[in-house]
């Protein structure tokens, strides 16, 4: 899959597949509103899209997919909408952890302490049951906020310094990363946001430093495998310079 080509002495990564795709699942509410349906119908259609896209990514050899499902800011929404999103998450966590045909390895990124206790239980179960799975790694960002993740890491590092277990000089980027929810994972190659908005909305603020951003007008419930293939193709033609010259 790693197919670097040398062109005139330069490394060309134009045919390189992304290892990690992160998706901001957006546009569910508008999808429903456009059809005169209650917003929760958009979330349930959006959860079907999640299944299709995760299966597709697994088939085409994507190693990691990170799905932004619920942000630390989404608690501002009406209670009925939050309840519906939690209901769908319960169902999806069960599905991924209980059915033997699924080989995905589940990780939840976010402040799980702030979630209902039965969901915390399902997260533990899903993580445990899929620990040895060898298929795609599915990260679900749930009660996730990038600023909260970074603040949390800083707090834990400060506590170690206070106890004398770490020197301030030891705090490097590599060390800091070990305190993030994504520790030991590659950074996302692509951050994809369907749903027409062109913003990051507090998602993977640290990890996305050099991600290729792809914004799409398609609302998430309408997103298809073909749309994802197009996004990957777009990525393959990007020139990632990381501050250098290429």
89's CB contacts (< 8 A; 6+ apart) are 69, 70, 119, 140, 142
Among the listed residues 30, 90, 120, 238, the single contact to ligand IPE using CB under 6 A:
30
151's CB contacts (< 8 A; 6+ apart) are none
Q: How are the residues of the chain apportioned to helix, strand and coil, as percentages rounded to the nearest 5?
A: 45, 15, 40
Among the listed residues 18, 19, 21, 27, the single contact to ligand IPE using CB under 6 A:
27
Among the listed residues 55, 60, 74, 222, the single contact to ligand IPE using CB under 6 A:
74
Least gap, CB of 202 to ligand IPE (angstroms): 8
Q: Which is nearer to ligand IPE, 19 or 43 (CB)?
A: 43
Q: Which is nearer to ligand IPE, 27 or 188 (CB)?
A: 27
> 93-126 in b/e burial notation, b at 16+ Cβ within 10 A?
beebbeeeebebbbbbbbbbeebeeebeebbeeb
Closest to 209 (Cα-Cα) out of 189, 231, 234: 189
Q: Which is nearer to ligand IPE, 48 or 197 (CB)?
A: 197
Tell me the window of 50-58, 65-73, 94-102, 119-127 that interacts with ligand IPE (CB under 6 A). 65-73
Among the listed residues 83, 170, 197, 229, the single contact to ligand IPE using CB under 6 A:
197
Is 28 catalytic? The answer is no
Question: What sign for the dihedral angle of Cα 153, 158, 163, 166?
Answer: positive
Is 26 catalytic? The answer is yes
Site for ligand IPE, rule CB under 6 A: 24-30, 43, 68-71, 74, 85, 195, 197, 199, 201
- Residues assigned a catalytic role: 26, 74
């Amino acid at each position: 899959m790693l197919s670097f080509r040398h062109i005139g002495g330069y490394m060309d990564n134009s045919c390189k597949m992304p290892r990690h795709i992160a998706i901001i699942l957006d546009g569910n509410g508008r999808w429903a509103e456009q059809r005169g349906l209650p917003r929760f119908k958009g979330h349930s259609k959006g959860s079907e899209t999640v299944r299709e896209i995760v299966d597709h990514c697994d088939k085409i050899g994507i190693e990691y997919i990170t799905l932004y499902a619920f942000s630390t800011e989404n608690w501002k929404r009406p209670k009925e909408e939050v309840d519906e999103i939690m209901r769908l998450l319960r169902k999806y966590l069960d599905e991924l952890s209980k059915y033997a045909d699924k080989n995905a390895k589940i990780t939840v990124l976010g402040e799980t302490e702030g979630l209902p206790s039965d969901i915390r239980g399902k997260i533990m179960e899903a993580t445990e049951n899929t620990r040895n799975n060898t298929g795609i790694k599915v990260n679900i960002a749930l009660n996730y906020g990038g600023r909260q993740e970074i603040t949390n890491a800083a707090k834990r590092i400060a506590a170690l310094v206070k106890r004398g277990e770490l020197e301030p000089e030891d705090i490097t980027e590599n060390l800091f990363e070990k305190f993030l929810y994504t520790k030991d994972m590659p950074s996302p190659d692509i951050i994809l946001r369907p749903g027409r908005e062109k913003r990051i909305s507090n998602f993977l603020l640290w990890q996305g430093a050099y991600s290729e951003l792809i914004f799409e007008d398609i609302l998430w419930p309408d997103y298809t495998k073909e749309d994802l293939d197009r996004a990957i193709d777009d990525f393959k033609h990007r020139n990632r310079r990381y501050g250098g010259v290429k």
